């Protein structure tokens, strides 16, 4: 029983870490918050605590009232939604695999794809590499962005 307890603690630690990694990925991005009393807020998530208290910048509540900054206690937050589509790096890797068969490696945790051991691409585009291969990767990336964010949705 002692071993099970250690495993459960380890799994809990891993789950907690992954949870906060997901929350960290929303930092400086638009979110939609629902409180336990049903009130809603939209804004840019600028920070949070271990107790899930959060700070939103340029926020609006469901009545349309604007807040430059608003801090919400974690005990009052029922739900947090990403207000924009998340970048699907796995799908981009599949697209790149069609152009560069057997030369694409996906590093999901790092959010990076490596092509031909020379070109690195993330959700921000080509971050390392030059030449024709890097240019082709950038073109695939740009086409992918156009597909996931049609003109009507782009800022």
| Structure confidence at residue 10 (pLDDT) | 53
Instruction: Please name the CATH architecture into which domain 89-148 falls.
Output: 2-Layer Sandwich (3.30)
d(CA 84, CA 15): 24
Q: Which pLDDT belongs to residue 154?
A: 40
Mean pLDDT in order along the chain per 10 residues (155 residues): 44 78 87 93 93 94 94 94 81 95 92 94 92 95 82 42
Residue that the structure tokens 């699907």 belong to? 88
pLDDT of residue 11: 52
Portions of the chain given CATH number 2.30.30.100:
2-82
Its CATH class, for the domain covering 2-82, is mainly beta
Nearest to 128 by CA among 136, 116, 120: 120
> How many Cα neighbours within 13 Å face the side chain of 21?
10
Distances in whole angstroms, Cα of residue 28 to Cα of each of 13, 58, 75, 84: 25, 11, 22, 12
């Amino acid at each position: 029983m002692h071993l099970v307890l250690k495993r459960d603690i380890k799994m809990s630690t891993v789950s907690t870490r992954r949870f906060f990694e997901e929350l960290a990925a929303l930092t400086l991005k638009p979110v939609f918050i629902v409180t336990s009393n049903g009130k809603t807020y939209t804004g840019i998530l600028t920070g949070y605590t271990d107790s899930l208290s959060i700070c939103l910048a340029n926020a609006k509540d469901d009545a349309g009232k604007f807040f430059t900054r608003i801090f919400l206690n974690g005990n009052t937050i029922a739900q947090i939604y990403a207000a924009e589509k998340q970048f699907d790096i796995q799908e981009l890797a599949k697209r790149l695999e069609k152009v560069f068969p057997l030369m694409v490696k996906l590093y999901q945790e790092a959010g990076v794809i490596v092509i031909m051991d020379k070109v690195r691409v993330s959700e921000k585009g080509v971050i390392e590499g030059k030449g024709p291969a890097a240019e082709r990767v950038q073109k695939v990336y740009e086409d992918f962005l156009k597909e996931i964010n049609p003109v009507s949705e782009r800022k």
